Structure 1
Amino acid sequence: MISKRSPVRRTAAGAAAGAAALVLAACGGNGDSSAGHDGHTTASPSASASASQGRHNAADVAFAKGMIPHHRQAVEMADLAPTRADSAQVKKLAEDIRKAQDPEIKTMSGWLTSWGEEVPADGAMDHSMHGTSGRMSAEEMDKLKNSSGKAFDTAFMEMMIKHHEGAVAMAKTEQADGAYEPAKTMAAAIVTSQTSEITQMNKLLGKN
């Protein structure tokens, strides 16, 4: 009798242990109640904390803080075109850039404020991101400001292609690492629109 009962007891004990393990796994996966709001149970403690604060994370903050001065410089470059560009296409492109990026600057500034983060001051990060984000140096900006006509058109497009490539890279990082859906949506729009503008500028430069 004992030999017949013991497998049953072992089976029951194993089932109980398995159930306990499932309960522990469920508790451990959530971390806190906010992390399971979308059905995922793999959120880290830091992600759980960000969820309770509007579901943003450090990547979202870095995206906004990096993209605001990046956009400001693009708008500054675009503002030169009406009085310096020769090509109507370049003038139209510059206006499109200004119309797209001005509102995005305001939106990202609003995010940072709502998150309790500092909005970058005008002129901030002028020397900190060269070579990694496509931002122009002071010397490059001076060259653009001092050119006109076809020389301006060429310089503007060559610089803006580099500038856009940096923005696209930053936006792709946000898409991969960010948690705040409006920021990820904006990042996707930046990738789409600026990749299209890069193609357009390369064609105008005769590179495609």
Structure 2
Amino acid sequence: MTAFTRALRRKPARRLTAAGLITAGALFLAACGGDDMSGMDHGSDNSSASATATDQAGDAHQAGNFNDADVSFAQMMIPHHEQALEMAKLADGRASDAEIKDLAAQIEKAQDPEITTMKGWLESWKQPTAAESMPGMDHGGHGSGSGSGSGMMSGADMDELKAMKGTEFDKAFAEMMIEHHNGAITMAKDEQKNGKNPDAKKMAGDIIKSQSAEVKQLQSILDRL
């Protein structure tokens, strides 16, 4: 057998060897590609975990984002709203004017959820729901000459309102609620000026807007009664 013949017989083997190397290389690249994809999945999981941690940190920051004015606003507005609800509930069975009845229901619907929200703020801020001493919140506002500006009714005022019915109740309710609302508006303006918490300041703005409109409505009711 000549050298040329032996060389020809060796060439197919070399081609097979080259083909084997190509196949092995393709399998290696595919395996690497699989690892890369798996790495991408892990990266996605890590991103989700990071986003969750960021959200939680944001919530914690929001809970700590308050000052003394925010605390006072919530602590004083809670009993203020509670008295407004007490007054509004008296309209049932006592009021004779349809607009007074509708407005009383509107006050209950708006202020009850706000009380729950403010209590939630104080809890998240680790603050008591009521301060030990709150000037102007002694229920001695109406007709007491206290000059507190809170608009809170005294116990005697509430007893008088409970004893009234019909048009007499409607007039007294409108007069007292105007004073009560004006007190809340003053407190809300103070919060907008001195507060820090964005949610508390937003609620203060909502109170100013809604209760200013109700004051105008109550005054128009008084004018026609």
Alignment match of 1:161 (pick from 163, 167, 178) = 178
Greater share of residues in helix: 2
**1:155/1:114 CA distance change after superposition, 3 Å:** same
Alignment match of 2:193 (pick from 150, 173, 176) = 176
**1:90/1:142 CA distance change after superposition, 3 Å:** same
**Matched residue, 1:80:** 90
Q: CA deviation at 1:106?
A: 0.3
Query: How do 1:117-128 residues align onto structure 2 when only pairs under 5 Å count?
Result: 117-120=127-130, 127=138
Determine the C-alpha separation between the residues in 2 that align with 1:104 and 1:120: 15
**TM-score normalised over the length of structure 1:** 0.71
Q: CA deviation at 1:127?
A: 1.9
Could you tell me whether the CA contact under 8 Å between 1:133 and 1:163 is conserved in 2? yes
Identity in percent: 50
Determine the C-alpha separation between the residues in 1 that align with 2:222 and 2:139: 29
Could you tell me whether the CA contact under 8 Å between 1:126 and 1:137 is conserved in 2? no
**Matched residue, 2:26:** none
Equivalent position SS for 1:133: coil
Q: CA deviation at 1:119?
A: 1.2
CA RMSD of aligned residues (A): 2.0
Determine the C-alpha separation between the residues in 2 that align with 1:133 and 1:141: 15
Could you tell me whether the CA contact under 8 Å between 2:76 and 2:137 is conserved in 1? no
Equivalent position SS for 2:196: coil
**1:81/1:52 CA distance change after superposition, 3 Å:** closer
Letter in structure 1 aligned against 2:216: T
Structure 1 residue runs without a partner (length 5+): 1-50
Determine the C-alpha separation between the residues in 2 that align with 1:195 and 1:150: 23
1:123-157 C-alpha deviation (Å, 9 max, x unpaired): x9862663320000001000100001000000000
**1:74/1:204 CA distance change after superposition, 3 Å:** same
1:150-198 C-alpha deviation (Å, 9 max, x unpaired): 0000000000000000000000000000000000000000000000000
**TM-score normalised over the length of structure 2:** 0.65
Structure 1 stretches of at least 4 aligned residues deviating more than 3 Å after TM superposition: none
Determine the C-alpha separation between the residues in 2 that align with 1:63 and 1:129: 19
Determine the C-alpha separation between the residues in 2 that align with 1:115 and 1:189: 22
**Matched residue, 2:144:** none
Determine if the alignment matches structure 1 residue 109 to structure 2 residue 126: no
Alignment match of 2:72 (pick from 36, 46, 62) = 62
